[in-house]
Amino acid sequence: MQLPRRVPWTSLSELEQVSEWIYSPDSLPQDRERALHRLSAWATITPLPSSLSATLALLSALSVDTPSPSQSLPARQAYTLALIRLVNGLVDPLQGGMYARPIAHIARQLGLPGWWVELRHQGTHEDLPGLAVLREAAHEALDWLYTHYFLPTLHASAPPSHQTIPSPPPLKAYKTLAKAIARDASLAVRSRQEMDAVLRAFDRWVGEVRVAVSRGGWGEEGERETMEAVSDSLLERGGLVPVSRKKRPTMKDPSLPSELATLWHRLLQHLQANHPLFAPALYSALLARLAAPVEGEEDSTLDACLVGWAVWTVHAWEEALGGRAEALAQACVALGETDDLRRAPLRALVRLLSEGGELEGRAEALLAISGGGRVGVRRSSFLLVPFSRRVEKWETLMLIVQGWEGAVEEMEARLSKLDRAVRPSLPLPGLGI
């Protein structure tokens, strides 16, 4: 039996009202002041949940932040204290066991951006961070609390069976602003507040998606489910894939057009900065669409656009994907499991990812194991070994290939040593010996 939990509000409608005062697009400074007063009143009744306590601290910091230069130190102190309370309040309850776990590790599990932990450390042990970076962190922290606390709490009693993934914010506003900035770089500064508002709308949408697909669950599993749903939504036509075929690449040259990459760069980088699992989820979604059977008339420009975005994702976030070799391994496995009629786009992706250097040979090795066929590079005969079982995980393929590479390197080292031993001694030039 679960014991009743004491909360400061009499009904969820009161908490919803506070959320509206803080996060509504039409909210005014007076509305946030009302939310500050309401939270302060609640704090006198009963201890607030750590997320609400952090919200109160952030709103208090915003209230003392004035344009006056003489007030910058109190504002920096208030912002720093609010961020420390936020990180500590969320991390400390998970510090179980005999030995303390690294704060950065727990924060990553909760989905907290790593740079907040760095600001906490700097504010605790070093000089106070600058006011500009603290302001940015405070606004992001409020958005994070909306996604991870307010939305899950307000929708905790909603039946999961009838929830659908909410539609993303109107993409037209973002695309119009991004195109204008691409044409005139000077607008990047003048339109910063407008762009920040658009990006915050996407942050709120991500929170709504989290509630819909994972019941607001914290941790990597809930974050992974959320990012998968976000990636699928962005890959619909009209999103990352233009509606007009003229704006897409072709299979003859599936490289992503620079105009298309520039258009979406700001939003995608924003999502990746706040959600480190976004890049792996987007890449997996791209591979899944490239491997899926075609419904209706086949559209080669659609496949070419997906290939272009996959290559762009690997180039932009190679480290987040575990390296290009691992991204290549995933593509090879997808190619090996794909119907013959759908292999051309994935084969083009493998070719683009493995062009030049040692990855060409690695691609051939992985394709030989996974059954993906040739890519166009000469394949060694010793790789044509039948496997009696299906290799299910691309990590296993990587281990096999790395083992082969290690054996080859060891053999080359032995041959080089033997060659030096049998080579006749030659006089050293210039020394006369």
- Residues 42 and 236: their CA atoms lie apart, in Å, by 44
What pLDDT is attached to residue 360? 62
Report residue 170: phi and psi, to 5°.
Answer: -55, 120
Q: Which single residue is written with the structure tokens 């090879």?
A: 332
What pLDDT is attached to residue 354? 80
The CA-atom distances, in angstroms, between 92 and each of 84, 124, 218 are 11, 16, 15
Q: Which single residue is written with the structure tokens 């230069």?
A: 69
Nearest to 78 by CA among 134, 31, 29, 18: 134
- Residues 160 and 223: their CA atoms lie apart, in Å, by 17
∠205-206-209 over CA atoms, to 5°?
A: 90
Other C-beta atoms within 10 Å of 318: how many? 15
Nearest to 284 by CA among 221, 326, 252, 342: 326
Digits of tens for pLDDT over the chain (433 positions)?
345 667 788 888 888 888 889 888 777 888 888 999 999 998 888 888 888 888 998 899 888 887 776 677 888 888 888 888 888 887 777 665 555 667 777 777 677 777 878 888 878 888 888 888 888 888 888 888 888 888 878 876 554 444 566 677 778 888 888 888 888 877 877 778 888 888 888 887 887 777 677 654 555 667 788 888 889 888 888 889 888 888 898 888 888 888 899 999 999 998 888 888 889 999 999 998 888 877 666 778 888 999 999 999 999 998 888 888 888 888 887 887 777 677 888 888 888 888 766 666 666 665 555 555 544 433 333 222 333 333 444 455 555 555 555 555 665 666 666 666 555 444 444 434 3
Other C-beta atoms within 10 Å of 269: how many? 13
Rg (CA), the chain: 27
- Residues 8 and 13: their CA atoms lie apart, in Å, by 12
Other C-beta atoms within 10 Å of 47: how many? 11
Alpha carbons within 13 angstroms on the beta-carbon side of residue 132 total 0
- Residues 427 and 432: their CA atoms lie apart, in Å, by 7
Instruction: Name the residue type at position 33.
Output: E
Other C-beta atoms within 10 Å of 86: how many? 26
pTM of model > 0.85: no
∠366-370-376 over CA atoms, to 5°?
A: 55
Instruction: Name the residue type at position 224.
Output: R
Q: Which two tokens stand for residue 113?
A: 């951006």
What pLDDT is attached to residue 364? 63
Nearest to 262 by CA among 145, 144, 183: 183
